[in-house]
């Protein structure tokens, strides 16, 4: 779904008006995709996955693509690159397709961290890039989140020096679900992209319900030193197929391509191409996620637990007890929740699931917290 179409749709649906409209969402006609849980009866709320995907349209494409599985994916890949370029409003030379956005994160971590390059990041945040870069002797400056559990852009700015190669921003942030003020983010990027390349991880961008919130792709179009990563794992429900992409100006994109190792496969490529056409499933995923988050908030409110309003497909809440024991106790009730995120060891991340999963979560949480 193109950004302008998404903006108009969000305004029409009115998600930004809050939970008062939840009843109105129930009247919207969407077929619930079939669901075969190959992980027995365990409720999987630990990996920020979309429990409804792949969509029915994507499943049909997958089934019809096996005859091409004997072929290398190069011809098919060009079609996906062109579709992504059209969606993002850039040329194909700006696009790097990767095996999930994680491969793109690692490629950037390798290029800019190799041989002692310095990377600035919030803490806690998604660690894939940072830990991979550290294996190549990168120096990571981890900057604690501010009092609102968001990136402290001022403190991150203070860490920039002549050796800084990359600034990593995960927005919305994982695990906290916080969203940076758009003006502050734009000012930061415009002020510092000459000091170092800025990497904007937008894995959860599709779940932002502010219609006018910009993707940093807009700054890439201005020729700035920005890399944006996006994924088909979340809203499109293709986490198991491993396909994502980076957007950067051509000279940066060429450099990133040189560090991509695994690439992706022909089934993932065909699935991603169809997913980009399936606006109905895109809308369905956004709405179901909104309803699931509302149920999580209700369960947490009933127990008087502190939480952060989320702009993603998960919620970060304060347990008041060690997260490791919380994970063990919830697992006894067949519910898996997110891993530890140091130093916030008394907070838990819970992914949105199917609506019936949210009820199981609520019952389990009540028993565990009592």
- Report the pLDDT value the prediction gives residue 256, as an integer from 0 to 100: 98
Q: What is the mean pLDDT of residues 261-287?
A: 96
Q: Is the pTM of this model over 0.85?
A: yes
Round the average pLDDT of the chain to a whole number and report it: 93
- Report the pLDDT value the prediction gives residue 161, as an integer from 0 to 100: 97
Using CA atoms, how far apart are residues 315 and 174, in angstroms rounded to an integer?
A: 10
Contact (CB, 8 A) for 239 and 233: yes
Q: What is the mean pLDDT of residues 300-317?
A: 98
- Report the pLDDT value the prediction gives residue 21, as an integer from 0 to 100: 54
Is 90 exceeded by the pLDDT of residue 341? yes
Using CA atoms, how far apart are residues 165 and 118, in angstroms rounded to an integer?
A: 6
Q: How confident is the model at residue 29 (pLDDT cuts 50, 70, 90)?
A: low
Exposure string over 323-362, b if 16+ CB within 10 A, otherwise e: beebbebbeebebbbbebbeebeebbbbbbbbeebbebbb
Domains and CATH numbers, the chain: 3-55+279-369 (3.90.1150.10), 57-277 (3.40.640.10)
- Report the pLDDT value the prediction gives residue 48, as an integer from 0 to 100: 98
Q: What is the mean pLDDT of residues 185-204?
A: 98
Contact (CB, 8 A) for 267 and 65: yes
Q: Phi and psi for 74 in degrees, rounded to 5?
A: -60, -45
Pairing state of beta strands 226-231 and 244-248?
Answer: antiparallel
CA neighbor of 181 nearest in space, from 193, 172, 192 = 172
Q: What is the mean pLDDT of residues 15-42?
A: 58
Q: How confident is the model at residue 309 (pLDDT cuts 50, 70, 90)?
A: very high
Does 23 or 237 have the greater pLDDT score? 237
Name residue, tokens 């969000």: 10
Q: Phi and psi for 49 in degrees, rounded to 5?
A: -90, 160
Using CA atoms, how far apart are residues 357 and 267, in angstroms rounded to an integer?
A: 29
Q: How confident is the model at residue 15 (pLDDT cuts 50, 70, 90)?
A: confident
Q: Phi and psi for 118 in degrees, rounded to 5?
A: -105, 135
Is 60 exceeded by the pLDDT of residue 20? no
What are the tens digits of pLDDT across the range 316-340?
Answer: 999 999 999 999 999 999 999 999 9
Is 80 exceeded by the pLDDT of residue 28? no
Pairing state of beta strands 335-337 and 164-170?
Answer: unpaired
Q: What is the mean pLDDT of residues 340-355?
A: 97
What are the tens digits of pLDDT across the range 79-129?
Answer: 999 999 999 999 999 999 999 999 999 999 999 999 999 999 999 999 999
**Secondary structure of the chain: what % helix, strand, coil (to 5)?**
45, 15, 40
- Report the pLDDT value the prediction gives residue 126, as an integer from 0 to 100: 98
CA neighbor of 354 nearest in space, from 57, 37, 77 = 37
Give 92's DSSP letter: G
CA neighbor of 54 nearest in space, from 314, 273, 271 = 271
Residue 365, preceding peptide bond in cis (omega within 30° of 0) = no
């Amino acid at each position: 779904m193109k950004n302008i179409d998404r903006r108009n749709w969000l305004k029409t649906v009115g998600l930004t008006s809050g939970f008062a409209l939840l009843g109105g969402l129930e009247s919207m006609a969407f077929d619930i995709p079939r669901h075969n849980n190959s992980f027995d009866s365990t409720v999987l709320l630990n990996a920020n996955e979309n429990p409804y995907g792949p969509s029915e349209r994507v499943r049909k494409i997958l089934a019809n693509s096996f005859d091409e599985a004997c072929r290398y994916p190069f011809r098919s890949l060009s079609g996906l690159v062109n579709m992504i370029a059209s969606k993002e409003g850039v040329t194909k030379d700006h696009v790097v397709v990767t095996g999930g956005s994680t491969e793109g994160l690692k490629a950037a971590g390798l290029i800019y961290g190799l041989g002692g390059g310095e990377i600035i990041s919030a803490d806690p945040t998604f660690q894939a890039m940072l830990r991979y870069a550290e294996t190549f002797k990168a120096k990571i400056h981890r900057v604690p989140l501010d009092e609102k559990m968001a990136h402290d852009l001022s403190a991150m700015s203070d860490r920039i020096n002549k050796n800084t190669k990359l600034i990593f921003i995960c927005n919305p942030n994982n695990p906290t679900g916080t969203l940076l003020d758009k003006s502050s983010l734009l000012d930061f990027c415009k002020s510092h992209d000459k000091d170092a390349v800025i990497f904007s991880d937008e894995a959860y961008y599709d779940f932002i319900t502010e219609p006018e919130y910009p993707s940093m792709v807009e700054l890439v179009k201005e020729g700035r030193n920005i890399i944006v990563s996006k994924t088909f794992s979340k809203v499109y429900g293709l986490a198991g197929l491993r396909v994502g992409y980076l957007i950067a100006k051509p000279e940066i994109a060429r450099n990133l391509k040189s560090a991509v190792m695994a690439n992706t496969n022909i089934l993932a490529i065909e699935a991603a191409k169809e997913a980009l056409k399936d606006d109905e499933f895109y809308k369905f995923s956004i709405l179901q996620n909104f309803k699931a988050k509302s149920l999580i908030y209700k369960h947490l409110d009933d127990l008087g637990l502190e939480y952060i309003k989320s702009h993603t497909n998960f919620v970060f809440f304060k347990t008041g007890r060690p997260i490791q024991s919380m994970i063990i106790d919830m697992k006894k009730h067949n519910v898996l929740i997110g891993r530890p995120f140091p130093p916030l060891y008394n907070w838990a991340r819970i992914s949105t699931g199917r609506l019936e999963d949210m009820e199981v979560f609520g019952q389990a949480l009540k028993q565990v917290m009592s």
